[in-house]
Structure 1
Amino acid sequence: MNGSGVRRVLAALSLLLVLPAGLAACAGGPPTVAPTGVDELTIPTPMPDPSDFVDPDADESAANPWFPLEPGRVWTYRRHELQDTYVERVTVTDRTRVVDGVTTRVVSDELVDTAQRVVSSHERYYARDNLGNVWFFGIAGDWEAGVAGAEAGLAMPAHPRLGDGFVVDAGPGTAEDRAEVLALDAKRDVPAGSFDDLLEVEQTTPHQTGLVRRAYYAAGVGLVFQETVAGGTELVELVASG
């Protein structure tokens, strides 16, 4: 990004599996893929420039299709954890919050048990930059970018590619998840329907060795399925969205 803001440097993790341009050319491989937002970003970003981010209330015609942030959007999920089943509701609110100088959109997340009791609720802060990348700025009461060394991570690149790797959140000691794009053509059947051409992302964290989650996103919808494939039993399925 600009100036002292999010510097335009190649800062993807070692998870990035794309060959350097010169090596690909010498090996007679396919043409080099044009740079995307992931290539040109410092992730996490230590000094976000507010001018690099869109107004949360601006036109969403250029929104990230994998991670919609239009106020009023609601997703209902069925979440299974061990022997328990919950209903999870994720809502893009009409509220905003300034975090580390950037005006972010507040997204609420509420977990309800079978007796209709609220088990937990959280508020997360996201912001979309001018290139369409969605950044994760924190969770209320947990960590916030710009506080105690925490920095904004990348929730979703604008144009994810197979092998792209990035830091999702950067709250030292509490939230340091990493993500890698595994597929762009995954398929899943969930209560909300059958989905093709899903973006499949694997997520790990240094704070829970052996924990591996895989999340599946549909363009124009967002998250439709998530499962813990190692180190846990969590399963999340989309029931309805709108």
Structure 2
Amino acid sequence: MFATTLATSVAAAILVVAASAGPSAAPAPAPQGFAHPQANGWFPLEPGTTVVLRGTDDGVHFRERVRVTDHTRVIEGVRTRVVRDVLRRADGSLAERTTDFYAADDAGNVWYFGENTATYLPNGHLDSREGTWLAGRDGARPGIIMKAHPKATDAYRQELYPGHAEDQAWTVGFKATLRTPLRRFHHVLRSFEWTRLEPGVVSAKYYAEGIGVVREQDVAGGNEQFVVVAVHRR
């Protein structure tokens, strides 16, 4: 009960912050700052890794498959890692397909350089490509998806394409234990994430070292929730 009340209080505080401009986007290092990328345990980019999650949103059941590929793409002089994220409904129909572009810098911070995303109707027809962006195009700027050494009270922009992609994050701290259908995780990083483009919605995300996101759930303004069920490595 206390944890629920605390989460609600924190979410309310975030909503106040979200109503303002929020933190500015940190300037990404020059391309040479990515010459010797350091691995980030909280957001690993090891090719061949696949994380499978299942969850619900508005009563609809989904299965999500996130795969770190062998492919790269150079964006603004930086060689980024290509990550495929595919979301399917319980009946197997495609709900969303996203290609994300990430890069770790020499300090171990992981930067988000853009995404190509598309949502689909149950009949298979394309619904929207809203949210697609690429750093350096139309004023879009990269953001930090995960800091090298995250600590409580860290706040930062994860992406910045005004009016289209404006995700932000606030590191809350660490949770000693988190149970999932896959297994029990210890010393899990917890953050609250939101966007000004969806007023009132705040999501809590839990990151386990060596895997990344193992659980996420709306704590205000929505009822979406996902949890890890499998991790495959090449």
Residue 98, structure 1, aligned to residue 74, structure 2: yes
Residue 217, structure 1, aligned to residue 207, structure 2: yes
Residue 208, structure 1, aligned to residue 208, structure 2: no
Structure 1 SS opposite 2:32: helix
Q: Tell me if structure 1 keeps the 8 A contact 2:200–2:221.
A: yes
CA distance in 2, matches of 1:123, 1:182: 28
Q: Tell me if structure 2 keeps the 8 A contact 1:44–1:170.
A: no
Q: 1:92 is matched by which residue type in structure 2? A: V
**Over aligned residue pairs, what C-alpha RMSD do you find?**
1.7
Match of 1:83 among 40, 59, 62: 59
Query: Matches of residues 129-148 of structure 1 in structure 2 within 5 Å?
Result: 129-140=105-116, 142-148=132-138
Match of 1:43 among 16, 21, 25: 25
Q: Tell me if structure 2 keeps the 8 A contact 1:44–1:151.
A: no
Deviations 1:121-174 (A, max 9, x none): 110000000000000001125101101111000000010011111111111111
Deviations 1:177-211 (A, max 9, x none): 11111012343211111112110010121111111
Structure 1's consecutive aligned runs of 4 or more residues displaced over 6 angstroms after TM superposition are: none
Unaligned runs of 5+ in 2: 1-13, 15-23, 118-131
CA distance in 2, matches of 1:227, 1:108: 21
User: Post-superposition shift, 1:240?
Assistant: 0.7
Match of 2:98 among 88, 108, 122: 122
Match of 1:172 among 162, 171, 178: 162
Corresponding pairs, count: 196
Unaligned runs of 5+ in 1: 1-14, 16-41
CA distance in 2, matches of 1:170, 1:186: 32
Q: Compared with structure 1, are the counterparts of its residues 231 and 52 closer, same or farther at alpha carbon in structure 2 (3 Å cutoff)?
A: same
Q: Tell me if structure 2 keeps the 8 A contact 1:143–1:150.
A: yes
TM-score by length of 2: 0.79
User: Post-superposition shift, 1:48?
Assistant: 4.3
User: Post-superposition shift, 1:120?
Assistant: 1.6
Q: Tell me if structure 1 keeps the 8 A contact 2:51–2:211.
A: no
Q: Tell me if structure 2 keeps the 8 A contact 1:80–1:86.
A: yes
- State the percentage of identical aligned residues: 39
TM-score by length of 1: 0.77
CA distance in 2, matches of 1:145, 1:186: 36
Q: Compared with structure 1, are the counterparts of its residues 215 and 153 closer, same or farther at alpha carbon in structure 2 (3 Å cutoff)?
A: same
Q: 1:49 is matched by which residue type in structure 2? A: A
Q: Tell me if structure 1 keeps the 8 A contact 2:25–2:159.
A: no
Q: Tell me if structure 2 keeps the 8 A contact 1:79–1:236.
A: yes
Name whichever structure is richer in strand by fraction: 2
Q: 1:53 is matched by which residue type in structure 2? A: F
Deviations 1:64-121 (A, max 9, x none): 0000101100000002111111110000011111112211001000011222222221
